[in-house]
């Protein structure tokens, strides 16, 4: 196996679990680009997303002390939003990834006559320890999207004391940027400050 593809597989596997929020959109664009270039397409899946309406607790009805009526937020269906997304499935190294291709809001047989919907709801990932996922994401940006790296790196900090190299460096840059350097220098006292003012008995305001 090509070592570059093997390493990319590991980097995306961990980065996909802890994407930097400050560069989330750029990460998905980079992921789509690199999967098409280095990954091997192995099939397609369909993901079904159904969001219940919280305004009516998914009942479709809104009630108060005066009356009961169909929920305006979901039009009485109890479902706020529902859609199906076609995903291209790629193999990169030893890991499998998805790229979204098409989304529809009304299910049709032609959309899935060859592909049976097999992903229900959003895919959840467990975040790796010590910000390893964020570390991998910054390395991907550094090598494959230098513009985003220079634009976003060091613009946010992480509270954890256990950090990997790039996360540590980014946190340090963030702290330096946020430090109030002006507080290191003595403040100039205005000549018209209140401490320099005094009144005579005839000038007292009361």
How far apart are the C-alpha atoms of 55 and 1, rounded to whole Å? 52
CA atoms within 13 A on the CB side of 73: 17
**Residue 133 burial (C-beta neighbours within 10 Å; 0-12, 13-18, 19+):** buried
pLDDT averages per 10-residue partition of the chain, 206 residues = 89 94 94 95 91 90 80 89 92 94 75 67 88 95 96 87 85 89 70 53 55
Please report the pLDDT score of residue 104 as a whole number: 86
End-to-end Cα distance, the chain: 89
Please report the pLDDT score of residue 106 as a whole number: 73
């Amino acid at each position: 196996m090509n070592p570059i593809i093997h390493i990319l597989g590991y980097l995306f596997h961990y980065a996909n679990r802890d994407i930097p929020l400050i560069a989330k959109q750029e990460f998905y664009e980079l992921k789509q680009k690199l999967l098409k270039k280095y990954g091997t397409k192995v099939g397609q899946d369909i993901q079904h997303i159904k969001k219940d309406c919280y305004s009516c607790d998914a009942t479709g009805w809104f009630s108060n002390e005066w009356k009961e009526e169909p929920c305006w937020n979901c039009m009485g269906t109890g479902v706020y939003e529902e859609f199906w997304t076609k995903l291209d499935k790629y193999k990169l190294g030893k890991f499998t990834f998805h790229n979204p291709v098409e989304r529809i809001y009304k299910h049709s047989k032609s959309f899935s006559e060859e592909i049976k919907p097999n992903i229900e709801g959003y895919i959840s990932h467990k975040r790796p320890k010590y910000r390893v996922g964020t570390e991998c994401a910054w390395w991907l940006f550094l090598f494959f999207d230098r513009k985003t790296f220079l634009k976003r790196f060091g613009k946010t900090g992480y509270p954890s004391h256990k950090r990997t190299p790039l996360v540590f460096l980014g946190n340090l840059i963030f702290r330096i940027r946020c430090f109030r350097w002006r507080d290191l220098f003595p403040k100039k006292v205005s000549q018209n400050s209140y401490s320099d003012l005094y009144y005579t008995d005839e000038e007292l305001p009361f």
